[in-house]
Amino acid sequence: MMPQGNTKQTVDRTPVKRSAPSRKRKRKQHSKAPFVLFCLLLISIAALILVHMTDIGDKIKKLPQAFTYPTDYEEYVLRYCAEYDCDPVLVFSVIKVESSFDPNAVSDVGARGLMQLMEDAFNWIKFRLGDDRGYTFDDVFDPKLNIQYGTYYLSYLMEKYNGSIELSAAAYHCGMGLVDSWIDDGTIDPENFRVSDIPDENDQTANYVEKIRDAYEHYKEILSSSHEVSE
């Protein structure tokens, strides 16, 4: 007989491979609606750009002009142009050429402010306006007062010289007396004025008139496009 006792039974520990449960994965069906809407949006934007391409191009071209030819102090310019029946395009042009919109500008000959008024011109305008507000020439750096007096002076010159921007600009630069003398002695013809007719010794005035004319053309385009003045 075989001895009785604890007998060890060998256990098969080899892991049993179990088949994975069957999982049927459903493919997610993505909606195409957002993609279609995005495409439609791009098409709409492209269409708008094409339709307004010319307008956008024109505005982009005018951006540099907005910096080169600013329209600061337009509230005062438009206010006093309406009061004195003056062309705001001309006023902006004079401010641009005279001071580049620096209210504290002072010239070598003592002209002051935005429109570079001389003291004798300031006193003459003050007398003409009957201005008893107590202002002195030291107050001419104030943009509002400077534009008021300068605009009145330009309106007077434009009336005197029958709406001639060139003759008015020349008189603004070198004085009415000298321009009147050119007219009186036949140096220039007010009915057929040419900048080249200005005497050579007054070439600075001729150059000034050319600058005013150039600025005038730019401001006429800028202000007309912004509907600030009528064409």
pLDDT digits (tens, 9 = 90+) for 119-175: 999 999 999 999 999 999 999 999 999 999 999 999 999 999 999 999 999 999 999
- Does residue 187 belong to any structural domain of this protein? yes
Which whole number is the average pLDDT over 51-63? 50
- Does residue 118 belong to any structural domain of this protein? yes
Which whole number is the average pLDDT over 39-48? 69
Q: pLDDT tens across 19-35, in order? A: 555 544 555 555 666 67
- Does residue 15 belong to any structural domain of this protein? no
Q: Which residue has the higher pLDDT, 208 or 35?
A: 208
Active site residue 98: yes
Q: Which residue has the higher pLDDT, 199 or 54?
A: 199
The domain of 168 spans: 71-225
Which whole number is the average pLDDT over 176-203? 96
pLDDT at residue 18 is higher than 70: no
User: What is the domain-level CATH number for residue 200?
Assistant: 1.10.530.10
- Does residue 230 belong to any structural domain of this protein? no
**pLDDT at residue 82 in the model:** 98
Q: Which residue has the higher pLDDT, 67 or 176?
A: 176
Structure confidence at residue 225 as a pLDDT band (50, 70, 90): confident
User: How many domains in the chain?
Assistant: 1
HEC per residue, the chain? CCCCCCCCCCCCCCCCCCCCCCCCCCCCCCCCHHHHHHHHHHHHHHHHHHHCHHHHHHHHHHHHHHHHCCCCCHHHHHHHHHHHCCCHHHHHHHHHHHHCCCCCCECCCCCECCCCECHHHHHHHHHHHCCCCCCCHHHHHCHHHHHHHHHHHHHHHHHHCCCCHHHHHHHHHHCHHHHHHHHHCCCCCCCCCCHHHCCHHHHHHHHHHHHHHHHHHHHHHHHHHCCCCCC
- Does residue 37 belong to any structural domain of this protein? no
Structure confidence at residue 2 as a pLDDT band (50, 70, 90): very low
- Does residue 141 belong to any structural domain of this protein? yes
- Does residue 129 belong to any structural domain of this protein? yes
Portion of the chain with pLDDT greater than 90, in percent: 65
Which of 74, 75, 98, 221 is labelled catalytic? 98
- Does residue 46 belong to any structural domain of this protein? no
